[in-house]
């Protein structure tokens, strides 16, 4: 051994393998009797049992069916007398996944027939079989592997829908427990020898022990196994552990959708968790953690008996719900309120069903972490955070494993990255050893987490993992000691020494998967649209409940919110799933839109019920805390009705005379019609005014001025009422000059912005028109990432570009006075094109680009660039409830790694006294390098969805110059909020107008009132959520237009906090930079 360590290691490794010790696990086997029913889909057990009469005989080798099909098998066996007293198992392999059921409908264990480490084909039937006894089970076979039906190249391919599954094995077997125990001993000892330092005593001791075992054991003499086990017991019985301790938590990361649809995830949860319950029964020391309330809710609905069994294990402390969110969501793309609802609904579910909330934010697998998360997590009652994804980083390895993560408001979370650099460790000595050698905070801490179990496609730990960790637990062979413990204990111990830990400030940027900010654009667009819709429904429903006492649609809103949250899962909203997933999400978003509009209409019904004749008005709804002066489109008949109403009210004088006049009009209706034909309104003698402008779609354009958080009648301007018209003219060079009283833009016939500036004398030029073709420059890049097609975009894509020029005619299609519009078309390729409407509206501080793309490319990336005449080392990007600054240069590798970043509604580049902001209604990928601002528009990856982003897209973005102080004073965040929340227009009676004016008002420009909703539990309590947007310390007075008896501050879970004094129906509250504050408004 001493002279030939390598050869000895090869010898003992070979002894473990399939042709030696592992081949002795099943010394006897016999085929099962099988019958099969090819089910019409994913049917429940009850339907399969009812169909037993349709089951037909099937044999090993027979075909089952194509990908995604379901088949139910009845499996029976009579135990031979010679097997009496022996341990008997089933070994079943269908090439895919399966669930073992008792004949009375109890799910027992999941099976997976793949080859390799993920294989789980063994199911224990009896530890001591009775000769002559009959055993019958039903097996639910899913024709998909653990990772769906995708092949793997440099990433997962689209699913192979023609793949055919066959029955490979279905045997009852005698299981040799002694051979298994010896195999587990050797695996640990040999793996330790492989991964300890070559010159270490630990390696030599392990290698000698393994070699001695091989010498002592004769595979054809099972009675010799005990000699080998005795040698192993001596090895494990004299540990010399390292100073490090690992807290081992079993884990089964199940992607809520990815390479399989949501419907299959429900079955994956049942298969995986039934398996874990059996493991808990077999190993009392074993503890298993499980996140994602959505998956628990699915299980409760479809597998109530299994859910009840899980609750018992939760009570005993072995099954540990963790994480506190509805799903393990993406943390870049969802808006701030969506992140709040992830915790609100997740924690409430955990508390209701399991009796406790989670103290740990558990999110091991997502693609970056917004810098506002520490505050959100803390305000949801959590103190700790576990993830590991940054261990994948492309250029810069993250420098810590245990540290304090500080958010943009100063909140700190005790954070841990398991040093094995995964969330699905196989619990080998290699992973245990790596947990020590890779631990980056030695000296500051002596413990870490080991999160083990098959994941992504489910499965979780298997018996071998628990066996190996149990053998290593004492620190044998110089390995760290291992405790089977709840993760809270790890964090609680480290919390006592957190003053020793380093602090990481700001975002946890993931240096991979940057393409996820853009892939599957329609999915992302629908997400933001539904976020806006639910925000608006909650506002109007709350106001209606407060002022008119209408029922608040809490149950319906919960249902819609849960669908939004579901589709924010970290493989769905990033755009990295198979086509079937996006078919599901599209159907979900369509349902949310349809049902949401119904709820919205119901909430505004008290003011939208039309009366006859001219007594119907036109109202605008402003659900944002931003005062608005905007051009809107409305039907021509609404314009006519509104002006008729205004004239009638003027003539009548008051509501009573209005009712009398209405009765008179009914009597003389015909006369009125004749008068209106002549242009006389209501017999008043005045001509019906024409709208100031008719849009290209035939609608009336009107200029609406409406305060924040209001619903009020909006006049549609006639020409003489337009005080600040917008204009367009063509100059001598063929360029177009667009101007209003706020800004001036010069647009070339190609649609490039050659000049963009405010009209003030101090307004500087925002566009770099010296070194570039100008702003709004469409560019297409080659996009061929090395790995992970839908996920990644690599830095070299910026080196290969094609500049798109306009083709066809650039024409003026709207000439003011309320809105001017240029139409420009671009040829992308023989297959793709772009049509743009470049618009400027009266009183608008930005130029808007309504963009329609017919997109049919392959591995191309469409972006738009705005080269700016602005010099700054940093640009500002909106994130949930705030903004971050990122460098515009690439001095270091960390800065270079951020060549593509994620943001919410806006990005801003400013120097002192001059800046430009870019807004978007549905895009999330940005970059600012030197003076060029880029917005990512569309990608065209082919895996795992070959048709990702193909087809027509319509989206909006806008460029806003500013020169008043900084971008904060210019109101960038507020204007971007308004841009993303178009005014809603409804027809209504006029009687309720004043009751809906300025429902809430705030006197501080830095503070946005983001959300108004009813409490989760009390119909007489409203929730108001605000946050500071400027990165400033300020004080705001919030005034209520309705009676408030009491105000309590609350956290994001709506737990009551300290009272807030009310004076004159208003509260005055202080804010620190980026602080989020929520309040319970107890109504009078």
- Is residue 365 part of the annotated active site? The answer reads yes
Please list, in sequence order, all residues whose beta carbon lies within 8 angstroms of the beta carbon of residue 493, skipping any fewer than 6 positions away: 447
Spot the catalytic one: 176, 365, 783, 949. Answer: 365
299, 284, 304: which is closest to 252 by C-alpha?
299
CB 433 within 8 A of CB 481: no
How many angstroms separate the Cα of 1038 from the Cα of each of 385, 535, 544, 968, 975?
34, 19, 20, 20, 20
**Alpha-helix residue ranges (DSSP H) falling in 303-401:** 304-316, 336-354, 373-379
- The Cα 269–Cα 280 span in angstroms is 16
DSSP 498: G
B/e letters for 772-787, b = 16+ CB within 10 Å, e = fewer, are bbbbbbbbbbebbbee
- The Cα 828–Cα 267 span in angstroms is 44
Edge to edge, what strands does the sheet with 617-622 contain? Answer: 710-713, 617-622, 984-988
Burial of 555 (C-beta count, 10 Å sphere; 0-12/13-18/19+): exposed
Beta bridge partners of 66: 164
Please list, in sequence order, all residues whose beta carbon lies within 8 angstroms of the beta carbon of residue 152, skipping any fewer than 6 positions away: none
Helix (H) or strand (E) holding 916: strand 914-920
- The Cα 1076–Cα 343 span in angstroms is 15
Backbone angles phi, psi at 849, to 5 degrees: -125, 105
Six token digits for residue 855: 């997109």
DSSP 796: G
Neighbours of 732 (CB within 10 A): 5
B/e letters for 301-321, b = 16+ CB within 10 Å, e = fewer, are eebeebbebbbebbeeebbbb
Backbone angles phi, psi at 716, to 5 degrees: -95, 115
- The Cα 933–Cα 900 span in angstroms is 11
Specify the 3-state DSSP secondary structure of 948: coil
Helix 225-237, helix 177-195: angle, nearest 10? 40
Six token digits for residue 561: 């919110």
Neighbours of 106 (CB within 10 A): 14
CB 344 within 8 A of CB 1053: yes
How many angstroms separate the Cα of 571 from the Cα of each of 216, 255, 330, 344, 861?
51, 7, 8, 21, 20
The set of catalytic residues is 365
């Amino acid at each position: 051994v001493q002279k030939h360590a390598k050869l000895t290691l090869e010898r003992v490794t070979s002894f473990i393998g399939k042709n030696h010790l592992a081949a002795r696990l099943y010394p006897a086997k016999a085929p099962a009797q099988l019958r099969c029913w090819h089910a019409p889909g994913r049917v429940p057990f009850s339907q399969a049992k009812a169909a037993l009469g349709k089951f037909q005989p099937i044999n090993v080798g027979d075909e089952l069916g194509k990908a995604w099909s379901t088949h139910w098998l009845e499996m029976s066996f009579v135990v031979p007398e010679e097997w009496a007293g022996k341990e008997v198992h089933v070994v079943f392999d269908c090439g895919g996944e399966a669930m073992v059921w008792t004949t009375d409908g109890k799910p027992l264990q999941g099976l997976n027939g793949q080859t390799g480490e993920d294989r789980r084909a063994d199911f224990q039937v009896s530890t001591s079989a009775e000769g002559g006894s009959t055993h019958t089970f039903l097996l639910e076979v899913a024709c998909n592997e653990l990772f769906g039906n995708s092949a793997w190249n440099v990433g997962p391919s689209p699913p192979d829908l023609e793949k055919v599954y066959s029955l490979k094995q279905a045997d009852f077997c005698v299981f040799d427990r002694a051979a298994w125990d010896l195999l587990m001993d050797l695996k640990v000892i040999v793996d330790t020898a492989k991964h300890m330092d070559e010159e270490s005593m630990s390696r030599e001791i392990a290698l000698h022990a393994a070699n001695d075992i091989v010498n002592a054991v004769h595979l054809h003499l099972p009675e010799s196994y005990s000699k080998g086990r005795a040698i192993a017991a001596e090895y494990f019985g004299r540990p010399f552990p390292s100073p490090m301790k690992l807290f081992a938590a079993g884990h089964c990361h199940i992607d809520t959708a990815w390479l399989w649809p949501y419907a299959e995830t429900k079955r994956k949860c049942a298969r995986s968790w039934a398996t874990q319950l059996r493991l808990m029964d077999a190993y009392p020391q074993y503890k298993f953690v499980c996140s994602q309330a959505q998956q628990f809710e699915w299980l409760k609905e479809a597998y109530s008996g299994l859910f009840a069994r899980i609750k018992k294990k939760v009570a005993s402390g072995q099954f540990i719900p963790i994480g506190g969110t509805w799903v393990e969501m993406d943390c870049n793309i969802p808006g701030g309120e969506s992140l709040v609802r992830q915790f609100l609904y997740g924690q409430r579910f955990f508390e209701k069903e399991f009796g406790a909330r989670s103290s740990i934010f558990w999110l091991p697998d997502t693609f970056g972490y917004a810098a506002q998360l520490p505050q959100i997590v803390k305000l949801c009652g959590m103190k700790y955070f576990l993830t590991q994804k940054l261990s994948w980083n492309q250029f810069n390895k993250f420098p810590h494993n245990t540290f304090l993560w500080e958010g943009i408001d100063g909140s700190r979370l005790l954070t841990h990255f398991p040093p094995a650099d995964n969330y699905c460790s196989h619990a080998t000595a290699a992973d245990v050893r790596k947990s020590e050698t890779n631990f980056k905070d030695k000296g500051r801490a002596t413990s870490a987490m080991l999160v083990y179990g098959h994941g992504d496609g489910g499965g979780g730990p298997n018996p071998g993992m628990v066996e190996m960790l149990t053998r290593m637990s004492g620190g044998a062979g110089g390995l760290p000691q291992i405790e089977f413990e709840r993760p809270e204990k790890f964090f609680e111990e480290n919390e006592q020494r957190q003053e020793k830990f380093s602090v990481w400030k700001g975002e946890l940027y993931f240096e991979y998967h940057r393409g996820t900010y853009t892939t599957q654009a329609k999915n992302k667009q629908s997400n933001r649209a539904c976020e806006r819709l639910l925000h608006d429904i909650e506002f109007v429903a709350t106001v209606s409940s407060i002022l008119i006492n209408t029922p608040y649609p809490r149950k319906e809103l919960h249902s819609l919110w849960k669908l939004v949250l579901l589709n924010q899962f970290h493989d769905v909203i990033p755009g990295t799933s198979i086509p079937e997933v996006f078919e599901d999400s599209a159907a979900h978003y369509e349902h949310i839109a349809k049902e949401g509009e119904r709820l919205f209409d119901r909430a505004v019904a008290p003011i939208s019920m039309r009366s006859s004749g001219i007594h119907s008005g036109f109202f605008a709804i402003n659900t944002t805390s931003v005062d608005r002066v905007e051009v809107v489109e409305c039907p021509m008949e609404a314009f006519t009705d509104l002006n008729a109403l205004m004239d009638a009210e003027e003539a009548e004088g008051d509501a009573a005379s209005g009712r009398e006049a209405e009765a008179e009009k009914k009597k003389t209706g015909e006369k009125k019609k004749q008068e209106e034909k002549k242009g006389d309104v209501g017999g008043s003698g005045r001509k019906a005014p024409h709208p100031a402008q008719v849009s290209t779609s035939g609608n009336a354009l009107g200029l609406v001025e409406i305060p924040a958080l209001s619903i009020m009648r909006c006049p549609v301007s006639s020409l003489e009422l337009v005080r600040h018209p917008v204009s367009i003219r063509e100059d001598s060079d063929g360029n177009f000059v667009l101007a209003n009283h706020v800004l001036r833009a010069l647009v070339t016939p190609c649609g490039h912005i050659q000049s963009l500036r405010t009209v003030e004398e101090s307004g500087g030029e925002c566009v770099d028109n010296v070194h570039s073709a100008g702003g709004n420059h469409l560019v297409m890049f080659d996009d061929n990432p090395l790995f992970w097609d839908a996920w990644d975009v690599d830095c070299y894509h910026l080196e290969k570009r094609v500049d798109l020029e306009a083709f066809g005619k650039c024409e003026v299609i709207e000439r003011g006075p309320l809105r001017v519009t240029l139409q420009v078309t671009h040829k992308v390729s023989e297959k793709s094109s772009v049509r743009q409407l470049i618009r400027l509206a009266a009183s608008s501080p930005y130029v808007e680009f309504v963009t329609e793309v017919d997109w049919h490319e392959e591995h191309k990336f469409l972006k738009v660039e705005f080269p700016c005449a602005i010099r700054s080392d940093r640009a500002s990007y909106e994130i949930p409830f705030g903004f971050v600054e990122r460098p515009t240069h690439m001095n270091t590798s960390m800065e270079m790694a951020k060549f593509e970043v994620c943001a919410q509604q806006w990005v801003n580049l400013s120097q002192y006294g001059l800046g430009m902001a870019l807004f978007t209604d549905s895009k999330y990928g940005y970059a600012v390098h030197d003076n060029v601002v880029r917005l990512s528009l569309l990608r065209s990856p082919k895996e795992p969805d070959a048709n990702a982003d193909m087809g027509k897209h319509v989206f909006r973005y806008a460029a806003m110059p500013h020169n008043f102080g900084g971008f904060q004073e210019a109101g960038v965040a507020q204007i971007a909020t308004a841009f993303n929340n178009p005014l809603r227009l409804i027809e209504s009676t006029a009687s309720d107008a004043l009751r809906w004016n300025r429902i809430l008002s705030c006197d501080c420009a830095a503070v946005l009132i983001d959300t108004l909703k009813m409490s989760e539990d009390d119909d007489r309590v409203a929730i108001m959520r605000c946050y500071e947007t400027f990165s400033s310390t300020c004080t705001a007075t919030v005034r209520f237009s309705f009676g408030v008896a009491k105000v309590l501050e609350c956290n994001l879970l709506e737990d009551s906090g300290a009272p807030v004094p009310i004076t004159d129906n208003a509260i005055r509250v202080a804010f620190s930079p980026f602080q989020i504050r929520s309040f319970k408004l107890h109504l009078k």
